[in-house]
Structure 1
Amino acid sequence: MTSRQLAAFFFTPLEPGHYRCNICEQTRKQAARTGYTNLMSHLQSVHPTHGEEYAEFQARNLTTLEVFGFVDEVTSHMYDWLRWIVERNLPLSEVETPLTRQLVRMRPTSVSTLKTYMARVAARVGTIIAEEMGTCIGIMWDGWSCGTRHYVAVFVVYHGPNGPIERLIGLSPAEDGQTADAQIEIMAAILEVYGKTTRMIKFVVGDNCVTNQALATKLGVPLVGCASHRFNLAMVKYLTNSADLISQIRDLMTTLRLPNNAAQLALHTPLLAERSNATRWSSVWKMVDKYVRIRDAAKHVAAVEDILPRGNAHRRIVGLHAKLKELHSVCEKLQHHKRTLGEVRALFDACIKKYPIMDSYLGEDAAIVHSPVFESAVVKITSALPLSTAEQAALEPFRKSPSSEAQEPPPAGDFATQVLRQAKKPRRAQPTMADYVALLGAVPPTSNRCERLFSECKYVLELHRAAMHPANFERLVFLKANRDMWNASTLAP
């Protein structure tokens, strides 16, 4: 037996240079390409009978996976290949590149073999998710276009042992259009893979567009409109009052970005001029903030002397900057992955109080809100506040089913006894969170998880990889999004 065989048998590779002993769970260091001295020293000093154990297993023709749940060297190398490709957003063909094979320590493999392991891991992770999510779920989804293809990301929301969980379960191309019916078909097809149906959906989370509202109405469930989307629309409306100032700053930044002017600006500050875009209001905040920071340096650029805001215009911009700084802090708080509907409501109410113009988008009963009663009910029930009759009705699908253990009926009595017993019964108390399933406390106020996923997708489906098959793209993103659910043993046959 060789040191390499013993190391592969008794140790599981962790991060580069670290290995975990399969017998005592201790972690040992061993630098790459330096042999197995430290690992062998551990076996000889701590597990002196390791040689006999290895020989016994070899004689019985059993592998470490079959006995201990650990993997052999081949599986370990495939795990490292898959981890490298998935986590580094590399093309599948990277495993066949001669230079890569020369530099890495893993055994050479092929694209077809890598795809086989990808499919195996994705199937096993999917099985675990299907068991975890149960039959009472929420759905979060959004769309993303790349070139001529439009993808729909679907996350399942459920309550796990340690709290709310959001898992990516599908990233499918929308081949039949982007209508509400087409979206429902995609959802149903993805859920069918996990043995679920759309009847198990209790709520949906997405942007506040008409299509999403129609989808929720067709499914007969409430739509929780993305709070970040609503806040972005409210900010666009708020900024209309400062359109002239924003236009001045944009013209200034455009001029400062010209090569000669940028060179002069670089002599006085390392900061670069920055323009806003029409997609998100936060780009306006970044542009205004950059103006305040580089204005003194911009005075040295002769080409912008005539368009540099001065006097009253500059003072108004400074005032706008202070307000946008406050509102930007709200935008950042909305990005927190553990934000609740109650916290979002508190932030929105504070914004409305200070900036009433935002009420048309941030108000509880704003026209853009699809299910105001449901959202209000969730805020109240999670804050231990009393519910109205309409709000109780909105939460009825989340009410726990009656206990299977029927209470023993009280002993029968005469007429007077029954009347007095009925009079002593307390009036029905207001419902509390204990009366509803745990999923009610897991309702996310935003679909920002989808936005973060799409930001990662841009690194996988780059311009020179636009021809990647949708199935391979979906598996790569699925494995990366659910990276915490698979390890080396997941790849074992």
Structure 2
Amino acid sequence: MPKNTDICRVLFAALPDHYFKCNYCNKVRRQLPSSRYGNLISHLRDKHPDYEADYLAHVSVLADNLHSFGFVSDKVANIYHWLEWVVDRNMPLSEVDHPTTRSMSRLKPISSKTLKKYLAATTRVVEKEIAKATPPIFGVMYDGWTCFLEHYVALHIVFWKDDQLFYWPVAEVFVAEHEYLVGTVSALMVALQTIKNRTELRRHTSFAPLRANATRWSSTFMMLERYVRIRDAIKRVDAVYDLVPKPAAHRRIVALAESPKMFNSVCKKLQEDSISMKAVRLLFDKMVDIFPVSGDYRRTDAAIVRSPVFESAYVALSSSSSMASASSFNATLAVLLAAKYCRQYPLFHWREEALPSMGRRAEKYCFRVDMLNLQQESCGDMLLSLLPAQLSLLDFQKENTLYKLKALLVTLKHPYILPVMDIYYSKEKKALLVVQPFLSNGSIKDRIYQVDNPAKPYDVKYRLENAHPLPFEEIAKFSRQILEALAGLRSKGLVCDHLRSTNVVIDGGNAKVAEIFTPLLAIDRYKDSRELTVGLEQHMDIDLLLFGQILYEMATGMELLAPQPEEGVLEMLAPEIAEVLQAIFYYPDALSPPEPELSSEVEVEKNGSEFDDSASVSSIVSSRNKKRLFLVDVEKMLDDFPLFAVHDIPPIRTLFSGFRLDSAMKSTIKYSMRINASRTQAHIVHYNDQQALLRARQRAERRVYEEKEKQQQRIQQLTPSKNPTSKGNPYSSKTIPTRRKTYRADSFRKHAQRALSLPDNTKSNTSASSA
């Protein structure tokens, strides 16, 4: 077992006056020689219980160099103690040769010549250590003081450590705003430093004036505090009375002197072990409110904050509302989940680049990260999309559903479908993360609105004044590629019901459908998009209706805000485009194939195994025709319309050989499509019920209107028989008051005109007769 003496030599640093500093926590403990090492050992036992293991580990590793732990040989210790005896007591070197000194000392005898040799060697070693710490350019400062009858002079070397001054920038900036007040107090303190004024001030107070030091920010506040404390005594010094600040300035100085107390209290609070990130942020926010100048250093988005996103996230998580509802999905949880995902996979480099409001969904959060290769070099950008998954397939399925979805999304390979690299689901937070390549060209909507940076917010990118139609060649190319992707998904029984211009991206001049995971997760569509298509979904496939909206937007530069485009707008478009839009929105029966005469079993045998993937979904997609999965054949549509006859697009079969799905993937698609079809059918039923109620209400209002018209006609027919005196008089007593007033006004006007038209003799006769 090691001795306490050896342990304390290693784990403590000796200080003057019997003080020792712990090498673990830098706390200082006093240990008198009479009490051995009990105080130091008790500190190690209470605060650092593993001190013995640490000591043994260091001794075993550095057994050949014990000097680093304070272990020295007896010869070195003997010489050191003789040097200490002579130097500390300021004794002559011949003292070591005196027989009395040698007899009373427990040290081994040493000669004065040997002691002089080691004194010179120690001086050279100390000089070398000072030379190492001193830069090439430095200053020399002399400092003197008197103690009783002896006067001492010390020589100091002054230099900048690491070529910079150490002071508190926040305090310096805060004081700079009150430079006039600080300068006034500083001038007063300089005047009080003279011998006569200092002597006069000493008669009234025992406190001496203080001056500010340019290299110590605290000296400025100490000077202000000392001024406030001795102001009454300073006013009694006649020589500096004119330099004393006036009462208004004095009140401002008093308020300024109180500010460091708040700074010091905050600094002490930050040193507590129990303080949380939320409390730190609240303290900083309060300091910014009180001292706005500190905002450049303490705001959440300050330049010195390394990770503003993480700080905001942790502060929000530590609040009571976020902890109470830990399962709610918000921006904070999105940041933390994205960072956690990148830490789990070393090939993704988290660079904290958030893309706020990039998409149309308000609850969708996007982040751009770097994709690294095996040499940890950036080889591309990835887009992390996080969205809530409260009402998705993952919530009411088994545990292995996530693995099935991962395998299915990775397997869905197509030249015109943007691949999904990975999918991550947090069951506790009810959040879903999808990893896809980030394309700098943006989407079709970005091409329509001439957006140069697709990472901008949604409301900033898409302004109406920037929209313009695409060229006919691009419309024909993109529309054919979208239909090819839809046909590939249909071949596996998957209906893409989240097709929008923002979800079709441009990669190398080719269009690719991006959000293929939303129909598999059974996530509902936007309300406005559902309202536009619900009336036509029972006559046309939903993916073709959404494709028609994209085609209309590419051709006109405007979104389709009605269930069907106006015929006047279609007349202004190219005939090839108008033909497709009319077939989708106005004449859906023209695209429907004829009813098959064979039974369902014969049709299944005719179509082969390709139809087996989606055979179970046929009864849900179309209730009026259970023999056919889709209402419209996309491949026949590609062959019939001249818009899709683009010669520079190779056949889809030459681009890839297709992909095969296992039974688990097929069951996942069937289950997702069953949920989507049930939801669609419910919306259609609700829409039909609302339309039926609307038609019934219109019929009722029409009947009430007709009854009112008939009753009014009967009243008009019966009115002349009840009041014969008013026959032929349009202004009878039964008329409304406004008509009565009009009748009176007309009668007065006619009487006045008749009076003005009579001759003069007639007027006089009339007046005489009236008299």
TM-score range, shorter chain: 0.3 to 0.5
Structure with bigger RCO (C-alpha 8 Å, 6+ apart): 1
- Computing the radius of gyration from Cα coordinates, the structure with the larger value is 2
TM-score relative to the length of structure 1:
0.38
The TM-score with structure 2 as length reference comes to: 0.26
